[in-house]
Structure 1
Amino acid sequence: MKALKRPEPINAEIILDPKETIMSKTDSKGIIEYANDYFMEVCGYEEYELIGQPHNVIRHPDMPKVIFKWLWERLQSKQNINALVKNLAKDGRYYWVITDFEVKQDDTGEIASFFARRKAPPRNTIEKISKLYSKILSIEQARGVETAEKYFIGFLEEKGMTYDEYIEDICLADKKPLDLKDLQYHKRKGLFVRLFR
């Protein structure tokens, strides 16, 4: 299949409807097999253009490669990861999402596909994460992915958090605290349920 021509980014944001969910399914190599209507509406591609393309076709150049390295390593080890990602639409505009993945396995336990749900993250998280990603990206461009990854690990060590914990911390910072019963239920259900309750 012919690769899509990547658009030139412009400094214009697509504000997502907080009630809508962007959904997609890829094969084990990250090739798009399904995208829901809201995904198509937001990214601006037609289904015939997008289906069969690698998911990184919508990756914004402001995103550090190290984030996708970590994301891919986690998915390949059959673990979920919540990630804050800046994506690139067909017209060059950008949009931010928080993504929740589900790893689907075949009868032999091999990865068959990845199913992803994406929603609009809280606005305050975008400012925090974009500053961090900008620092990581500048290090990546000057010194390479390995050096940027070391910086990122140091940043997380200073916070005493994993990437997941950091994302959860900034996403839930302004949420009303849960009572103990609700907290125990929501902790089992993960960030996505707690964030969009």
Structure 2
Amino acid sequence: MNQENQLQRQQRTIIDKEVSWDKTQVIMSKTNAFGIIEYANEVFVDVSGYEDYELMGQPHNIIRHPDMPKVIFKVLWENLKNGKNFHAIVKNLAKSGRYYWVITDFEISRDENDVIVNYFARRQAVPQEVVALHIEPLYKKLLQIEAASGVEFSEKYLIGFLEEKKKSYVEYIKELIFEHEKGHAKFVQYEEQHIEEEEEERGFFKRLFNR
């Protein structure tokens, strides 16, 4: 991000109101291996409030909200750089200063030498109850720890939190969303299948993102 855009981001007024958007739509973007935006679909443009030309060539953290704990992005990027998809619930910051919550899904593109060259990201809305009852309290705690003791101890807390639940982060958010949605028509036909855990997770998120 150039100095002018960085200054604009720092001066952006945070507004504690959600962006109004069609939550049936999927936000899509493409970045290079370093997270620089190379493509954003119309939904991304509409929801973020940026024009295409304002997004192209910018780091994806142009939409990072200060309410997001750094440890979530640390874990996300560790997985992506190792070629592993990662699903995270993220609070994003629109150009207006308003926020919008999404869950992520990635496809990783490699060149002929098996080197990662692009990340294709899909983002979909998250049920408000999941955010309010589970994610916001957790993220607030992680932010408090980061402010007091740094990301290292925020990560230790997150690891302990997940160990207590006997789940990975992805398994935890999968359970939250499934438990919320299982009574809705979209998931009413869902049946547990006895397959390997990773394949089961992919199947769930494929249904969530209609892939």
Q: Which TM-score bucket, shorter chain as reference? A: over 0.9
Higher mean Cα deviation, 15-24 or 105-114?
15-24
Structure 2 residue aligned with 1:43, among 29, 40, 48? 48
Matched, 1:86 2:91: yes
1:142 counterpart (145, 148, 152): 148
> What corresponds to 1:73 in structure 2?
78
- SS of 1:173 mapped into structure 2: helix
SS of aligned partner of 2:91: strand
Aligned length: 195
Alignment partners' CA distance in 2, 1:172 and 1:40: 29
| Aligned counterpart, 1:2 | 2
| Conservation of the 8 A alpha-carbon contact between 1:59 and 1:88 | yes
SS of residue in 2 equivalent to 1:26: strand
1:74-96 superposed Cα distances (whole Å, 9 cap, x missing partner): 00000001000000000100000
| Structure 1 position 175, deviation (Å) | 2.6
Q: Secondary structure at the match of 2:90?
A: strand
User: 2:130 is paired with a residue of what secondary structure?
Assistant: helix
User: What is the deviation of 1:37?
Assistant: 0.5
Confirm or deny that 1:114 pairs with 2:119: yes
SS in 2 for 1:146: helix
Q: What letter matches 1:12 in structure 2? A: K
1:68 positional shift? 0.2
Match among 178, 191, 198 for residue 179 of structure 1? 191
Match of 2:172 in 1: 166
Alpha-carbon offset, residue 122 of structure 1: 1.7
2:36 maps to 31
- Find the aligned partners of 1:146 and 1:77 in 2 and give their Cα distance: 20
SS in 1 for 2:84: coil
| Runs (5+) with no aligned partner, structure 1 | none
Which amino acid in 2 is paired with 1:61? P
1:22 equivalenced with 2:27 (yes/no): yes
User: Quick one: distance in 2 between partners of 1:156 and 1:179?
Assistant: 25
Distance 1:71 1:180, change over 3 A: closer
Deviating 4+ runs (over 4 angstroms): none
Q: 1:11 aligns with which of 10, 16, 20?
A: 16
Displacement after TM superposition at 1:174 (Å):
2.3
Q: Is the 8 A contact 1:16 1:120 kept in 2?
A: no
- Distance in 1 between residues matched to 2:203 and 2:81, nearest whole Å: 20
Q: Which residue of 2 aligns with 1:124?
A: 129
Equivalent residue for 1:53?
Answer: 58
Q: CA RMSD in A?
A: 1.8
Deviation at 1:10, TM superposition (A): 1.0
Q: What amino acid sits opposite 2:139 in the alignment?
A: Y
CA–CA distance in 1 between the matches of 2:112 and 2:97?
41
Query: When the two structures are superposed, what TM-score results if normalisation uses the length of structure 2?
Result: 0.87
Specify the code of the residue in structure 1 equivalent to 2:88. A
Identity %: 53
Give the TM-score, by structure 1 length. 0.92
Taking structure 1 as reference, are residues 196 and 79 closer, same or farther at Cα in structure 2, changes over 3 Å only? closer
Q: CA deviation at 1:190?
A: 3.2
Instruction: Look up the SS of the partner of 2:2 in the other structure.
Output: coil
